[in-house]
Chains A and B, each alone.
Chain A
């Protein structure tokens, strides 16, 4: 069993990493090279097919699809990474406290973890969007997603911390006079670092997916390009009926590549840390 996991993990990891490097290069480096603001309407001729001057053609609104895509990717990636980072940070902290300290703290935290997991986040985001006058800015979406996504890493970390508490080396550390904080940081955290990484990447995926779904139905920020808003504008201007598939196809392909890459990477890391843990 272990050998197969180890044999599988690197392939997934490398594939995922490869796809992500591609996406990050397009989304983080290329936007700097864009000639002007690609969101600007009628900056270039409308409805051009793909050509060397406009790699993916132009939209009905006179935007260059390729440069628009790079900006959209950048915004989507930033939202995902910031949300993922804070969700994981809060989740690991809450999970460690609950699992290691136990008692009343554990019961209260566990209740919130279980309750948040059961509340479907999209309807709440939609409600918020309606109250903000039909559109949410990216920071508000990010903050709401953090509120709904910290329980996933927290639950997992709590489970690991619970099992760790009974391990001998933790008892040894405790009896040799190490403080609780030091035990948490030095002895328990290394075990959950791999899981946290996998969780972080998974939350990036979930956050981007949530923003994209809000945007596809027109509830995300109209002032910023994201993968979802690109799809929204394309659908709104009947790109499909006009058979202008590049306009929809470009963000859809980017979403697929990004999500498959993120999933391969996170499951690859999770598998490797599972193999490590059972070997340890």
Chain B
């Protein structure tokens, strides 16, 4: 029964966080010093398209509607929340009229999720494994070198590493493509190969940086655990090193790392947005960028609201997975 309570309260937090995030997004345009509708109109006008006064008026009316700027603040707010959270309807894209924003987003999401999930999992597994081995034998030269490398890599932002990797592997040595261009129809072998080929550099930048962080934290965990009494007891009992490592230390070292993972998702998402833009990778980040360049307000609100929901949900899922790994919560 304790488990049900834990899940219920976690779900409540999830809803509260999403509502809080959406509220922030709702109020941000209202803090802007200039009228957002006029700013968008200026953006469209500077894009080079000439409009007659009546067209401008029509666009102004549709933007006012898109911003939800008619009615009282409370009714605006309620309409916004209902539209975003309950129906997921963000209206048509202004730049790619009349494609609905939701269909643009649903095309982009698998790319972002695929990239982030693969690289996060890879980095998490590799980093924890290497960190654990380094923490188990902290005095070996290799362990020290590994930690040193991890410390130098971890603080570097993904996109900086992405730039360095792309300079090296796309400009100096022409191994990987400069920008993403996927060939083939979905789910043929050529398509899969092309996706993997195009995703290698963006994924590698995430994997390398995040790997650094997991090595550092997992090594610290393992070093502490190795001195715990139950480990000493296991050693006195004559258990082999590998058994102690895999059965005694690994499960305990991984638990806090799952919590850390939940905390890192938001930061990783931020990094992925910039990297998609740099590599021209067709995910959510690229969509946000297109929205800004073209002054597509519906698309911008849609992608940004969805970012908040996606990050909150990913964090929720990681948190909900936690009881699977921790018997104390499962049976407590």
Binding site for B on A (CB under 8 A): 1, 4, 12, 111, 114-115, 117-124, 126-134, 205, 209-210, 212-213, 216-217, 219, 231, 235, 240-241, 243, 245, 248, 252, 255-256, 259-260, 262-264, 267
Contact = CB atoms under 8 A, between A and B. Distances in A.
Nearest to A243: B171
A119 B308 CA distance: 6
A240 B291 contact: no
B307 A123 contact: yes
Nearest to B262: A118
A117 B271 CA distance: 16
Contact of A126 (B163, B167, B304): B304
Given A126-B288, A132-B32, A241-B171, A115 B164 contact: no
Interface centre among A4, A209, A255, A259 (most CB of B within 10 A): A209
Nearest to A122: B270
Contacts of B207: none
B42 A133 contact: yes
A119 B292 contact: no
A115 B16 contact: yes
B80 interface: no
Contacts of B72: none
B239 interface: no
A212 B160 CA distance: 10
A245 B311 CA distance: 36
A114 B17 CA distance: 8
A124 B315 contact: no
27 contacts: A117-B263, A118-B21, A120-B308, A120-B311, A122-B273, A122-B274, A123-B303, A124-B304, A126-B288, A127-B25, A127-B28, A127-B304, A128-B28, A130-B291, A131-B32, A132-B34, A134-B43, A216-B159, A216-B278, A217-B289, A243-B171, A252-B164, A256-B156, A256-B160, A259-B155, A259-B156, A263-B154
Interface of B: 13, 16-17, 20-21, 24-25, 28-29, 32-34, 36, 39, 42-43, 138, 151-152, 154-157, 159-160, 163-164, 166-167, 171, 223-224, 227, 263, 266-267, 269-271, 273-274, 277-278, 288-289, 291-292, 295, 297, 300-301, 303-304, 307-308, 311-312, 315
A259 B155 CA distance: 6
B274 A120 contact: no
A260 B149 CA distance: 11
Contacts of B312: 118
B289 A119 contact: no
Contacts of B171: 240-241, 243
A219 B274 CA distance: 11
Contacts of A248: 163, 167
